[in-house]
Amino acid sequence: MTGTETDTATGTGNDDQGISQTTTSATGTYVRTDTGATSGRAGSGSYGYTNIETADARAGYFTRSETGTDRYGLVYSFDDVSGETSGDTGHLHFSTDGVPFVDPAVDPLPNVTRGYRISP
């Protein structure tokens, strides 16, 4: 799968205490090439989502609510192991616009330019 995504993230919080609330909204396009049993999922299209995450990194507490479909929703049999699916409390940060699972440090990571390629 290849594609492009444009996202906007806004947030509030206290870095010293490791607490935050972040809202990420994005739209994207994709081309999915598939063979074998999943060949019916090949094609192209667009997607969009809004993801709201509340976090207390020091306590290992993360909750997330998402509307729409993020890029991982396009992957056949993607399993979100963060434990924070749609309002549940989890222990890993799930990122809709970067590496999917992160056990975060209290200190924020520097901003990076994001691109992606997901291999089947």
- Pairing of the two strands 101-102 and 61-68: unpaired
Nearest alpha carbon to residue 7 among 57, 68, 59, 56 = 68
Over residues 47-63, the pLDDT tens digits come to 999 988 888 877 777 78
User: Mean pLDDT, the chain, as a whole number?
Assistant: 76
47/73 Cα distance (integer angstroms): 9
- Work out the pLDDT band at 30, boundaries 50, 70, 90: very high
Cα Rg of the chain (Å, integer): 15
Extended beta strands in the chain, E state: 2-14, 19-32, 43-56, 61-68, 89-90, 93-94, 101-102
- Work out the pLDDT band at 68, boundaries 50, 70, 90: very high
Over residues 86-110, the pLDDT tens digits come to 555 555 666 666 666 666 554 444 4
